[in-house]
Structure 1
């Protein structure tokens, strides 16, 4: 069930102002005794596979909670994902990856071309002001007939895309780790965020259905390349991304493909590493790819976007959330189905404020995703009445070698001395070492 975001923030604001009236938010660390610390996380670590890093410290994550962009997924969709990957244990961004591929295919069909510059003109319009459809098959049927469509698939349920090529609204899940260091689905809550009025009002170009002129005219087959985190710090989040894209390709081709031919998928790894990602982009350019799905991390997309734009291709990420990407110079070739962290910042602040913390530490990996979300959460907390002096910001450099452990012992000591009673950890797989460092420093975690 969705509940009003404005109401939630207003309630939290009133709560924090009430605390401020009693003087507690003005207390310094020296004024209060050290107490148990509540752990919070974000989409990069609020997944079941994150718990596997604590096999030798069972129960450490019990009680940790956080947010992730996540639409309530139907049992049918989950079952179809498991037909792709029988061992799938997480679903984060699976809907977004599915929708990114389907939207790209629909835009190509409407454009009557695989030329990236033409496809890009239709992407936003696929999500707005047309005949509503919610399956690849139904939408492709309409697109082939030259009908204007409004795609409402798995993750895109309410508003369409904004002028910037991203969702105007989103659904967030509040997730909780249980005693087995796995997410307790029974405690998951969903809330809506965003504003449908920010959906683009620019009219889409008229559909140009293919007329059977052949490959020379349309450029078919449409080639879509993957740029997803098969390796590196974000590899733990790759299985649902891979399953979502594979399912979309299967559904599109089962419905007759695009422009009369099956869509081709060319796999590729971003390595959660700029250099690896650049190599993959170069490979896709040589292979004649039209649309690249990825990258996994916002910072990786920032690193490769100039190469993608110079090649005249589309970069379409299912999981980039860096708010700054909304205004990046992309020549109209960058899109995402993941919502901006301006929305997640509000959702995370809400989750933290419900527990009435007095001293909050926010730890983030030092990149555009981590620092961007850290700043958004800090701003939302301060808007809600939390004294800036009671918020401590720390960052860390992710190890260049994913196999190398992250040393956060110094940061853990700072958090202990700060007497934080809430710690938000924003990172990927490597952020498990932040939590382990807190335990090693003698910080008592509230379970």
Structure 2
């Protein structure tokens, strides 16, 4: 289990560290690798910073040792992790488990506040359940307050622990973890640091309006159903287990507390396949099954692709991990929400880490999709703002696909690796999913060595 051994940092503190490193930290080692290349430090993002990703390189022991990266993550208690393991004893990571859990809890509380399981009615109360009322942190406590006609502000286990949603339905503040791979290609929990981002002043200001006078809690409303539009397969399959566990745990605890409007809630399992086509077929099945709240999709591009269909059916799409900045302004008719913070915040956190290590020449390699392009653009802007010359930053992209074959190591990633090896950066930022393992192998094929 992940344990926190370092004091949480603020961005102000990171700025101080950055200033100190710029003044007194020596540059990374210029020692040559096996093919005469400078040693390079690897950096990753939420799509590849996990022990399950490291397992994809288990035949290359220690290849990821020293790789650093960011992921939206709030320190999770051992007790919460224990509850997750009761749902899935095989968990090795917790990325986005808290975000999935909170997405379900907030939706259930909003349904109780709206006195309805109709999706558009629930959507009107989602932001309001996180701002402006009595603070509560469990479904049982919060739903008790709602049933006493009190407004609440839910403080959960993800970024909602810090502050409420903005008016567009996403976290106003966030917590990021700086993760480090150890020599076993797994995350070294002892080196994990946490940093805050965002401003709680951007949280929504309006408390929810009371439901219509005709609404009441008598009779039996339609049961609230959640659909898990999360990755069992595809390029994010390794990231799926903690998200499924978080969602299922929330459903279990809601039902233990009496359900919503006197009815047990249901979880309908599905797969987004990290693919618009697979996700679209799953959405069709959810709609036919009467699912009101769809938890997913995991990837930003997949979420954007299925959102029009979800909106047309008047259902809610609530992603725990779609981080593209573009989703903040998407035309969603008020039906899209996310517990994952925008990549606008993650880009700053990642750029700070790279600069703290004294990088002077950086290569950024990203998927050519909304996630990769948005985050790489943000990292580029934040690196230049931090003082790195634009001419010392190389940005390369590769085709985003639903699945990658072993042969892509040579056909897709070798040309990128060759370009990077020839330019000799001291930092390589990899913005991708499971296919990042093929790119790491391609870098090794070019004789590059990684700083641990």
Q: TM-score range by the shorter chain?
A: over 0.9
Moved over 4 A (4+): 13-16, 207-210
Are 1:408 and 2:413 counterparts? yes
- Residue in structure 1 matched with residue 55 of structure 2 by the alignment: 52
Q: Tell me the CA shift for residue 203 of structure 1.
A: 2.8
RMSD, aligned α-carbons: 1.8
Moved more, 276-285 or 205-214: 205-214
Number of aligned positions between the proteins:
433
1:59, 1:2 → 2: CA distance?
28
Whether contact under 8 Å (1:360, 1:422) holds in the other structure is yes
Deviations 1:196-223 (A, max 9, x none): 00001123112569634323xxx32111
Deviations 1:83-134 (A, max 9, x none): 0011110000000000000000000000000111110100000000101100
Cα 1:422–1:191, aligned 2, differ >3 Å: closer, same or farther? same
Are 1:82 and 2:88 counterparts? no
- Residue in structure 1 matched with residue 306 of structure 2 by the alignment: 304
- Residue in structure 2 matched with residue 169 of structure 1 by the alignment: 173
2:156, 2:139 → 1: CA distance?
8
- Residue in structure 1 matched with residue 8 of structure 2 by the alignment: 2
2:278, 2:442 → 1: CA distance?
29
Are 1:65 and 2:82 counterparts? no
1:124, 1:345 → 2: CA distance?
25
- Residue in structure 2 matched with residue 119 of structure 1 by the alignment: 122
**Residue 290 (structure 2) aligned to one of 278, 283, 288:** 288
Are 1:104 and 2:103 counterparts? no
- Residue 443 of structure 2 aligns to a residue in which SS? helix
Whether contact under 8 Å (1:112, 1:208) holds in the other structure is no
Moved more, 225-234 or 206-215: 206-215
- Residue in structure 1 matched with residue 427 of structure 2 by the alignment: 422
- Residue in structure 2 matched with residue 214 of structure 1 by the alignment: 219
Whether contact under 8 Å (1:13, 1:385) holds in the other structure is no
Are 1:191 and 2:195 counterparts? yes
Q: Tell me the CA shift for residue 4 of structure 1.
A: 2.6
Whether contact under 8 Å (1:97, 1:318) holds in the other structure is yes
1:13, 1:270 → 2: CA distance?
43
Are 1:12 and 2:15 counterparts? no
- Residue in structure 2 matched with residue 321 of structure 1 by the alignment: 323
Are 1:232 and 2:234 counterparts? yes
2:253, 2:276 → 1: CA distance?
31
Moved more, 140-149 or 46-55: 140-149
Whether contact under 8 Å (2:310, 2:317) holds in the other structure is yes
1:379, 1:15 → 2: CA distance?
20
Q: Tell me the CA shift for residue 9 of structure 1.
A: 3.2
Q: Tell me the CA shift for residue 2 of structure 1.
A: 2.8
Are 1:252 and 2:258 counterparts? no
So what's the TM-score if we normalise by structure 1? Answer: 0.93
Deviations 1:158-189 (A, max 9, x none): 21000110000111110000001011000001
Are 1:395 and 2:397 counterparts? yes
Are 1:270 and 2:272 counterparts? yes
1:228, 1:370 → 2: CA distance?
19
Deviations 1:43-65 (A, max 9, x none): 11000001111122111000001
**Residue 45 (structure 2) aligned to one of 16, 38, 42:** 42
2:355, 2:20 → 1: CA distance?
11
Whether contact under 8 Å (1:223, 1:263) holds in the other structure is yes
1:331, 1:391 → 2: CA distance?
39
1:76, 1:116 → 2: CA distance?
32
- Residue 408 of structure 1 aligns to a residue in which SS? helix
1:77, 1:410 → 2: CA distance?
44
Whether contact under 8 Å (2:325, 2:374) holds in the other structure is yes
- Residue 423 of structure 1 aligns to a residue in which SS? strand
Q: Tell me the CA shift for residue 402 of structure 1.
A: 3.8
- Residue 253 of structure 2 aligns to a residue in which SS? helix
1:265, 1:289 → 2: CA distance?
9
Whether contact under 8 Å (1:143, 1:207) holds in the other structure is no
Cα 1:261–1:400, aligned 2, differ >3 Å: closer, same or farther? closer
Are 1:153 and 2:159 counterparts? no
Whether contact under 8 Å (2:273, 2:402) holds in the other structure is no
Cα 1:188–1:118, aligned 2, differ >3 Å: closer, same or farther? same
- Residue 294 of structure 2 aligns to a residue in which SS? strand
2:162, 2:216 → 1: CA distance?
33
Whether contact under 8 Å (2:9, 2:195) holds in the other structure is yes
Moved more, 141-150 or 181-190: 141-150
